[in-house]
Amino acid sequence: MATEQPTTGTDPYADVDRTDIDSFQERVFEAALGTFTTYAIYLGSRLGYYETLAVEGPSTSVELAAAAGTSERYTREWLEQQTVSGILTCSDPDEDPRARRFSLLPAHAAVLTDPERLDYLGSLPQTAVGALSPIHHVVDAYRTGEGIEFHEYGADLHEGQAALNRPLFVNELGTEWLSSLEDVDAKLRAGGRVADVGCGHGWSSIGIARAYPEATVHGIDADAASIERARENAAAYEAGTRLSFTHADAADVSAESDTPYDLVTAFECVHDMSDPVSVLSTMRSLVEPDGTVLIMDERVAESFTPGAGPVEEFMYGWSVFHCLPVSLVDDGVGTGTVMREETLRGYATEAGFSSLDVLPIENEFFRFYRLTP
């Protein structure tokens, strides 16, 4: 993408390697392409295009528009963009535009259309769109230092994030992660009690209740809309009174009937909290003396490291636009997504925990911590 430089005046970058400039130009261009692809996938998911193509098979723009209830001309443009982007295929590109047939490859359908497959990433673009939706508020926040309320990010962020974690929670949380903790596993199989702090749309609570049919699970979240969705999601799993949800600030929750919990969890939410120490203190008060507090949060490097890799870059992206602003609400501590082990260890000590252990659970994006009261 090299461009000609002006011939007048002095070029302050005359001594910079031209290859380095060209390379960075290419990176910026590819980032813009990625942005358009992200939003186009979001559009296809919201309009039901991928699900329709997965069920109906190769379709023309006329057929897809009719099935999805959308405009043919808009649908055709989206189909062509998706083909040029390598997401769809077109079997007859030389046909009349309205007669061309477009297909969703099975491998792509596995990633985009099945919300409980571990391969699923169809909601990732939705989450990104939600994280960027209040961008002008974010710009202002960077100037003022103020936080941005969680609800200001809207349904796309909340629904997308819940859907992104859903496959892990319903497939691996109970059957692999918790089952690897022998004492916890035994208690839950015998009918133990669980408090799931920051449960969001309830998939972590549902995952535990499904894996342990004798256990009682109580989900807690400060966002009323999330609790409403959690109850809706749970209704389909027929867990009955074993699974319940409460709208409350976790820092203000107390154990029901003075009966402590065997397990208290917080999945991917401590770094978002304005006052994580208060919440951790509450979690410590809720758990049995010989019980377990389990924290799942982002797997980041032990210290700031330039060139740490794509996972760290990914985490910083979320932090810049969402997690840091949310964690600065009400003069919060401002943890952000990149919460390193040392930071959490400090919060746990301040909250009164005697120890924190990193569990040997392998996951590319998450790290698991066991806190001892």
Over residues 237-261, the pLDDT tens digits come to 877 789 999 999 877 776 554 679 9
Tell me, yes or no, whether 156 and 73 share the same domain.
no
The verdict on residue 12 lying in a domain is no
How far is the C-alpha of 196 from the C-alpha of 245, rounded, in Å?
Answer: 9
Residue of 327, 325, 373, 321 lying closest to 352 (CA atoms)? 373
The verdict on residue 293 lying in a domain is yes
Note the pLDDT tens digit of each residue in 185-210.
Answer: 999 999 999 999 999 999 999 999 99
Query: Is the per-residue pLDDT at 37 higher than 70?
Result: yes
Predicted pLDDT of residue 41: 98
Rounded to the nearest 5°, which phi and psi values hold at 197?
A: -85, 135
How far is the C-alpha of 1 from the C-alpha of 31, rounded, in Å?
Answer: 14
Q: Which of 61, 89, 113 lies at the terminal end of a domain, its last residue?
A: 113
Tell me, yes or no, whether 34 and 140 share the same domain.
no
Q: What is the DSSP letter of 59?
A: B
Predicted pLDDT of residue 278: 95
Tell me, yes or no, whether 108 and 159 share the same domain.
no
Note the pLDDT tens digit of each residue in 307-324.
Answer: 899 999 999 999 999 999
Tell me, yes or no, whether 93 and 191 share the same domain.
no
How far is the C-alpha of 99 from the C-alpha of 32, rounded, in Å?
Answer: 31
Tell me, yes or no, whether 219 and 306 share the same domain.
yes
Q: Could you tell me where the beta strands, DSSP code E, fall in 18-116?
A: 88-90, 102-104
Q: Residue 359 class from Cβ within 10 Å (0-12 exposed, 13-18 middle, 19+ buried)? A: middle
How far is the C-alpha of 138 from the C-alpha of 181, rounded, in Å?
Answer: 40
Tell me, yes or no, whether 54 and 186 share the same domain.
no
Domain count of the fold of the chain: 2
| Cβ–Cβ under 8 Å, residues 341 and 302 | yes
Tell me, yes or no, whether 182 and 88 share the same domain.
no
Q: How far is CA 133 from CA 85, 120, 152, in A?
A: 24, 23, 9
Note the pLDDT tens digit of each residue in 270-310.
Answer: 999 999 999 999 999 999 999 999 999 999 999 999 989 99
Domain boundaries, position 40: 18-113
Q: What is the CATH number of the domain that holds 67?
A: 1.10.10.10
| Cβ–Cβ under 8 Å, residues 97 and 61 | yes
pLDDT band at 181 (very low <50, low <70, confident <90, very high): very high
State the amino acid at position 230 in one-letter form.
A
State the amino acid at position 115 in one-letter form.
P
Q: Which of 61, 79, 113 lies at the terminal end of a domain, its last residue?
A: 113
Predicted pLDDT of residue 254: 63
How far is the C-alpha of 348 from the C-alpha of 367, rounded, in Å?
Answer: 15
The verdict on residue 200 lying in a domain is yes
Note the pLDDT tens digit of each residue in 102-121.
Answer: 999 999 999 999 999 999 99
H or E stretch at 298: strand 287-298
- Going by their DSSP bridges, the two strands 193-197 and 88-90 should be labelled as unpaired
The verdict on residue 25 lying in a domain is yes
How far is the C-alpha of 127 from the C-alpha of 38, rounded, in Å?
Answer: 10
The verdict on residue 302 lying in a domain is yes
Tell me, yes or no, whether 145 and 98 share the same domain.
no
Q: Where are the alpha helices (DSSP H) in 113-211?
A: 124-132, 135-144, 154-168, 182-189, 203-211
Q: What is the CATH number of the domain that holds 354?
A: 3.40.50.150
Q: Which of 113, 146, 174 lies at the terminal end of a domain, its last residue?
A: 113
Q: What is the DSSP letter of 11?
A: -
For residue 170, what are its two tokens? 């319903």
The verdict on residue 133 lying in a domain is yes
Q: Which residue has the tokens 């389909």?
A: 236
Tell me, yes or no, whether 96 and 196 share the same domain.
no
Q: Which residue has the tokens 């990625």?
A: 34
Helix, coil or strand: residue 338: coil
The verdict on residue 81 lying in a domain is yes
How far is the C-alpha of 131 from the C-alpha of 204, rounded, in Å?
Answer: 21
pLDDT band at 326 (very low <50, low <70, confident <90, very high): very high
The verdict on residue 120 lying in a domain is no
Tell me, yes or no, whether 71 and 208 share the same domain.
no
How far is the C-alpha of 244 from the C-alpha of 161, rounded, in Å?
Answer: 21
For residue 257, what are its two tokens? 């009937």
Predicted pLDDT of residue 172: 95
Residue of 204, 203, 175, 191 lying closest to 295 (CA atoms)? 204
Query: Structure pTM?
Result: 0.90
Percentage of the chain exceeding pLDDT 70: 97
- Going by their DSSP bridges, the two strands 287-298 and 261-267 should be labelled as parallel
Tell me, yes or no, whether 108 and 166 share the same domain.
no
**Mean pLDDT calculated for residue range 35-61:** 97
Tell me, yes or no, whether 98 and 23 share the same domain.
yes
